[in-house]
Amino acid sequence: MNCPSCGAPMKLKSDMQSFKCEYCLSVYFPEKNDDGVRVLEEPSGHDCPVCTVPMVHAFLGRDPIIYCTKCNGMMLAMAMLESMIDEERSAHGVAAAPPPPDKEDLRRKINCPQCHRPMDAHFYGGPGNVVIDSCEDCCLLWLDRGELMRIAHASADDAASAPLTSGVDSTADSFNE
Ligand SMILES: [Zn+2]
Ligand SMILES: [Zn+2]
Ligand SMILES: [Zn+2]
């Protein structure tokens, strides 16, 4: 992206959260959008698997994601999901009951933005009834808009109402089916 003050190309700083202009030294810290995503106007080199527009680098909390500004879907490393759920919960607490799962998601076929092979659509192993898409080879997940929120808040609800159910080790094994 270019510097808002002087128009020179900006560099992503080492904290990966902000840009610095080497010419006028101003620092640009992208605002969060409605989904709590900080969009960096940096091309990711990957196209959105849903709407095929180029995606950009972005941050959700402190976690780097690849983000589609059109459909608000996001690509992330499988290993990050747990911490992102925690962050989402601590940021928003227990919200209203999540919407019902979208079974259409199971029928949808999208290709991995990285290796372009079909992703696996499956129910997330933990609570929340969310269908997520994953690529085992790339260890990537695709989350549609609001899916992270659904997982996070449904988990919290379930934990509060039924603490002894079995869905405790939710994420670790859920990708090995
Ligand atoms: Zn500048
Ligand atoms: Zn998209
Ligand atoms: Zn892949």
Q: What domain range is 19 assigned to? A: 1-30
pLDDT digit string, tens, across residues 45-65: 999 999 999 999 998 888 889
Residue 174 resides in a domain: no
- The total of structural domains in the chain comes to 2
| Judgement on whether residues 12 and 40 belong to the same structural domain of the protein | no
Measured in Å, residue 46 CA sits from the centre of ligand 1 at 28
Q: Average pLDDT of 28-42?
A: 85
With a cut of 90, say whether residue 154 has pLDDT above it. no
Strands 27-28 and 37-47, bridge-based pairing = unpaired
User: 147 and 76: one domain?
Assistant: yes
State the amino acid at position 94 in one-letter form: V
For the cut 90, the answer to whether the pLDDT of residue 164 exceeds it is no
Which pLDDT belongs to residue 167?
Answer: 43
Q: Are 84 and 128 members of one domain?
A: yes
* Residue 167 falls inside a structural domain: no
Say how many Å lie between the CA of residue 30 and the centre of ligand 1: 15
What pLDDT is stored for residue 166 in this prediction?
42
**More confident position, 162 or 6:** 6
pLDDT reading at 136 higher than 70: yes
CA 12 to chain centre: 20
Ligand having the closest approach to the CA of 23:
1
171, pLDDT greater than 60: no
* Domain match, 45 and 26 both: no
Could you tell me the distance, in angstroms and rounded to a whole number, from the CA of residue 46 to the centre of ligand 2? Answer: 11
Is 152 found in the same domain as 125? Answer: yes
Rounded Cα distance, 95 and 30, in Å: 26
